[in-house]
Amino acid sequence: MIKIGHIELGEFPLLLAPMEDVSDPPFRYLCKLFGADLTYTEFISSEGLIRDAAKSVKKLDFTEFERPIGIQIVGYNIDSMVRAAKYAEEADPDLIDINFGCPVRKVVSKGAGAGILKDIPKMVRMTEAVVKATRKPVTVKTRLGWDENSKNIVEVAAQLQDTGIAALTIHGRTRAQLYKGTADWTLIGEVKNNPHITIPIIGNGDIDGPVKAMEMKNKYGVDGIMIGRGSYGNPWIFRDIKHFMDTGELFPRPDISERVKVCMMHLEKSVSWKGERTGILEMRKHYSGYFKGYPNFKAFRIRLMNALTERDVMEILEEIRGTYEI
């Protein structure tokens, strides 16, 4: 049984990664429905949170159905991160997560996210301060290092564990790689097999289905897997991986009727939570995943990307169902 603090997550938990404009309440609901063991909010700016910025505060929203859930915070100032952790704690998540992995320039340029990988002593001090500031379990998500010449995650993981964190998620790329190339799980395995490490080690990077998940589990011995881009338009990935690990058989892929039904549910929840315009815009990144592999889909995709009202999207989805239904 894998535990993060007091949270029991089963024998081999599958986690939904915190992703900006993706892992919002509508999408977390669907991933939970299909078997995600732990979900995270989109990352929340510590500066935005302590200033009561509406966008940051809204990201604290979650429902009881989504539990267990972690609120992820990101920032460059230790005092602000401490205050943000206390603010987030008031929303009563199951844990607080620190983002030391986001590679986006606007985050990194401030020394936040993966930017802190150039200042490991500060990274450790910040983690220790956040751990001391909250009664909630604190976890960290980070990368192998800043670049190819500084893959120091084995040493850094031991230092982070010594601050009192409850678990560590490692993305198998450096900041310099962004999301390019192939994730290297070798060092994730080294961290997991370091006799000094006693906290759960979660692997992340390039998990796109059951076979890859099983391979990483068996080869590197991680305690669980976090799934990011592989879940886009594919909340079934959690169900599929669990079924494969339990039975050794691949779960049948959802037919067009289920795909349309779940996509509609996603759209409804997105519009309900964000309003029609934003809800529709932020659904667009999911359509390719929902209907991946369907022939001659380009015309439908263009229409979906250009539709501006919920009613229009729903009508197109009904057309898609009718076109591809056997």
CA distance 92 to 135: 10
Handedness of CA 44, 47, 53, 57 (dihedral sign): positive
Q: Residue 68, preceding bond cis, omega within 30 degrees?
A: yes
Which helix (H) or strand (E) segment is 263 a member of?
Answer: helix 256-274
Residue 114 DSSP code: G
102 carries an active-site annotation: yes
Nearest in space to 253 (alpha carbons), one of 304, 217, 209:
209
- Map residue 7 onto helix, strand or coil: strand
Give CA–CA dist 159/165, Å, rounded.
Answer: 10
Which one of 102, 114, 153, 225 is the catalytic residue?
102
Residue with tokens 């460059």: 76
Cα dihedral 17/22/23/25 (nearest 10):
-170
Q: List the catalytic residues.
A: 102
